[in-house]
Structure 1
């Protein structure tokens, strides 16, 4: 397996790279980070593709009138997108499990101080009410404690993390609204399509911002160890 730092081949039975002395721990952490990064990118592309596909439905709806509009046709056209958002949610869940493993290790490798104990890396996502604000604070603490940041840089990190979490919450809420929205009238159909486009955009932006945090935290921690 190639070394994460210098690229030299490390035998599986050796704990350190013979060329640069990097520990296999860093190599494994980088591999997990790359896997999370790629899965998030795949989620972003699926959401982005769904959004562009929904945008194509807006033109015929804007050209339709109350006399030419057929709710049965509109329902058949929008029904697959409910399944698409369900598939996106399943993909996000699978990615989230790997992300939790990565975050658990990143938390342990960041020197601190942390406002929440390590157990919140897992329980912060499933505890009611706390799961609305604990996850972004955990990610922020891990990020800023993984390197040395000026005040302006800390504000930038906070903006990225807050934007990521806001898009996650909006994406989940808009996807739920899209699933229960009706298409009995032309106005309802147009509103449903706009909901779907907004949900897809939020999902894509959330994945992209999460990719940025995973990349930067992994890079900082590997560089600090080196």
Structure 2
């Protein structure tokens, strides 16, 4: 296996890199981070493709009148996009499982005191009400504690995490509200706009999450591991 820090080949039975001394658990942590990063990128590309495809429906709808509008045809056109949002939710769930494994490892080796028990790194995502505000705080604390930041840097980290979490909540709400049909032309146009907004929020949430994963992983593999 190549070392995550120097690239030297390390035998599997060796705990540390003979060239730079990197620990095996650091290599494993980087491997999980890379896997999460790639899955998030796949999520972002699917959402982006869905949004672009939905935008192509806007021009045909603009050329229609109430007399020309066919609700049945529009329902058949919009139905696959509702399925795409369902598939995206399943893919996000799969990505989330690996993301939580990465987050648990990051929390285990993070330095500094934690304002919450480490079990909340996992429970914070499933406990109702708590899961609306605790996950971004966990990510923010892990990011800040993984490196040395100036006050301006801390504010920048907070801005990225807040934008990511806002995009996540907006994407979930908009995707749930996306209809599979429209009885009128106005409803069809609204559905298209709603779908584009949902896809854009999904793509933005995945992209910003990629930033957090990349930065936290990079900072933790570049500093000494916590005891």
Matched, 1:3 2:28: no
CA distance in 1, matches of 2:11, 2:90: 36
Deviation at 1:21, TM superposition (A): 1.1
Instruction: Describe how 1:120-199 pairs up with structure 2 within 5 A.
Output: 120-179=120-179, 182-199=181-198
CA distance in 2, matches of 1:114, 1:71: 55
Q: Deviations over 1:65-118 (max 9, x none)?
A: 101110111000000001100000000000000000000010111112222211
- TM-score computed with the length of structure 1 as normaliser: 0.98
Which residue in 2 is equivalent to 1:12?
A: 12
- Count of residue pairs the alignment pairs up: 225
Which residue in 1 is equivalent to 2:221?
A: 222
Which residue in 2 is equivalent to 1:208?
A: 207
Conserved 8 A contact 1:170-1:199: yes
Instruction: Give unpaired runs (5+ residues) of structure 1.
Output: none
The CA RMSD measured in Å over matched residues stands at 0.9
Conserved 8 A contact 2:103-2:121: yes
CA distance in 1, matches of 2:63, 2:117: 56
Deviation at 1:225, TM superposition (A): 2.2
Conserved 8 A contact 2:110-2:142: yes
CA distance in 2, matches of 1:120, 1:182: 40
Conserved 8 A contact 1:112-1:141: no
